C-alpha cells in the first residue's frame, strides 16, 4: 500500500530507489545526467509512491531569476540598514537584484513566505524568520540558503554568518561592575527565539556569577530589541514607584537603549549620574545620543557582505563554509559613567 503523495518526500524516493537524495534531485531538475537504469528505477519508484516533485525542484535549475532574497523578521529599527548595505553591494557586483521581505515563522500556517524558490535563486535568512521545518523543506530541494545571525539546526549543513555575543556582553557587564561598582544591573531581553538574545543573556548571567552577584529575575524586562517596547517596559517598571532598585541597565541592543534612556529621562533620572546604560550593535546614531552610548560594536555590514558572498558560492556549487563567527568589540562612551 502506497502513501498519499502529499506525505511522500524526496528522501522516501531516494531510500526506496537505493540512491542518494542528491541523485533524485539531479534527475528531477535535469541539471546533471543519471544512467538510464537509475532513471528507469526513479520513474518506477515515483509512480509507486505517487510522488509529485515540488514545482521549485522541477524548475530550479532551468529558471533563473537573477534575484537574491533577503528574509527579515522586521525592519523596525536602524540595525538593518548596514546589513542591507553589505548584502546589496555583493548582489549588485554579481549583476543580480536584491529582493527584501519580512516574514514571521509563526504565520506559516496561514501565509506562505513571500520570497523563496518561486521568485529568487537563493535566500539570505535572518534569525528566526523561517523555522527549522521550513529550512528543512528548502534544503531538501537543494535550494541555496545562508543563515544570518543564527546557526543551523544540527541536522542541516547550512552555512551561517553571525557575531560573537556572549563574551562581549560578559565583558561589558563586567565593566559596569568593576569600573563603576554597579551591582544591580537591569537586563532587557531580546526576542525570545533569537540566538543573539540567548547568548547576550548568557553573557549577562556569566558576568554576574563571575563577580559574586546573584541573578535576580526581578531585574529582567522584555525589550525585544525595540526602542518603543523597551520604553514602555521600563515606564511600566518605574510606574508605581515601588520597583526593585537598580543602578545600571544592559538594554540588549542600541535600539532598546534609546528607549531606556528616553524613559529614564522622562522619569527624572540622569544618565549616567543616576543610572548607567549600555547597549549592543553600535548603531550609527549611538555616538550622537545624549549621552553618547557605551556599547558593543558588531560588524553588521560585514555580516551582510559575507553572507551574500557565501550564497553566491553556493550558486557556483562551491563547498559550504559552515559557521562564520565574526568578532565584536566594546566601545566606551559616556553613558556608562566613563569620561570618554
**What range defines the domain where residue 50 resides?**
5-59
On whether both 220 and 208 belong to a single domain, the answer is yes
On whether both 38 and 104 belong to a single domain, the answer is no
Q: What is the pLDDT of residue 330?
A: 98
What are 29-74's pLDDT values in tens digits?
655 677 878 877 887 888 788 786 665 444 444 568 899 999 999 8
Query: Quick check: 114 pLDDT over 60?
Result: yes
On whether both 110 and 211 belong to a single domain, the answer is no
User: Residue 149, Cβ neighbours under 10 Å: how many?
Assistant: 23
What are 129-182's pLDDT values in tens digits?
999 989 998 998 889 999 999 999 988 999 999 999 999 999 999 999 999 999
Residue 108 belongs to domain with CATH number: 3.40.50.2300
On whether both 217 and 314 belong to a single domain, the answer is no
Crossing angle of the two packed helices 227-239 and 254-266, in degrees rounded to 10: 40
Instruction: Check if the beta carbon of residue 124 is closer than 8 Å to that of residue 138.
Output: no
Among 59, 77, 98, the domain-final residue is: 59
What whole-number percentage of the chain has pLDDT above 90? Answer: 70
Burial of 45 (C-beta count, 10 Å sphere; 0-12/13-18/19+): buried
What whole-number percentage of the chain has pLDDT above 70? Answer: 91
Q: What is the pLDDT of residue 5?
A: 44
Amino acid at each position: 500500500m502506497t502513501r498519499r503523495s502529499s506525505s511522500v518526500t524526496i528522501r522516501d524516493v531516494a531510500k526506496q530507489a537505493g540512491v542518494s537524495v542528491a541523485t533524485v534531485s539531479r534527475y528531477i531538475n535535469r541539471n546533471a545526467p543519471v544512467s538510464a537504469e537509475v532513471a528507469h528505477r526513479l520513474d518506477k519508484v515515483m509512480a509507486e509512491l505517487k510522488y509529485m516533485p515540488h514545482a521549485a525542484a522541477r524548475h530550479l535549475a532551468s529558471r533563473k531569476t537573477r534575484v537574491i532574497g533577503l528574509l527579515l523578521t522586521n525592519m523596525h529599527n536602524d540595525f538593518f540598514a548596514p546589513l542591507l548595505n553589505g548584502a546589496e553591494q555583493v548582489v549588485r557586483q554579481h549583476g543580480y537584484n536584491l529582493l527584501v521581505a519580512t516574514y514571521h515563522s509563526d504565520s506559516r500556517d496561514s501565509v506562505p513566505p513571500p520570497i523563496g524558490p518561486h521568485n529568487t535563486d537563493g535566500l539570505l535568512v535572518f534569525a528566526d524568520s523561517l523555522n527549522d521545518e521550513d529550512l528543512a523543506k528548502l534544503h531538501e530541494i537543494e535550494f541555496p540558503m545562508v543563515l544570518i545571525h543564527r546557526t543551523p539546526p544540527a541536522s542541516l549543513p547550512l552555512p551561517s554568518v553571525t557575531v560573537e555575543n556572549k563574551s562581549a556582553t560578559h565583558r561589558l557587564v563586567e565593566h559596569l561592575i568593576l569600573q563603576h561598582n554597579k551591582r544591580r544591573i537591569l537586563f532587557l531581553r531580546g526576542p525570545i527565539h533569537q540566538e543573539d538574545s540567548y547568548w547576550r543573556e548568557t553573557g549577562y548571567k556569566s558576568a554576574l556569577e563571575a563577580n559574586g552577584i546573584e541573578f535576580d529575575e526581578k531585574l529582567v524586562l522584555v525589550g525585544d530589541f525595540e526602542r518603543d517596547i523597551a520604553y514602555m517596559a521600563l515606564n511600566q517598571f518605574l510606574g508605581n514607584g515601588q520597583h526593585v532598585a537598580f543602578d545600571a541597565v544592559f538594554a540588549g541592543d542600541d535600539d532598546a537603549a534609546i528607549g531606556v534612556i528616553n524613559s529614564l529621562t522622562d522619569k527624572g533620572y540622569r544618565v549616567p549620574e543616576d543610572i548607567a546604560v549600555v547597549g549592543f550593535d553600535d548603531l550609527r546614531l549611538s555616538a550622537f545620543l545624549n549621552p553618547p552610548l557605551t556599547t558593543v560594536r558588531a560588524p553588521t555590514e560585514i555580516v551582510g557582505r559575507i553572507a551574500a558572498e557565501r550564497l553566491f558560492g553556493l550558486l557556483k556549487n562551491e563547498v559550504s563554509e559552515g559557521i562564520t563567527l565574526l568578532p565584536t568589540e566594546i566601545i566606551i562612551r559616556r553613558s556608562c559613567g566613563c569620561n570618554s
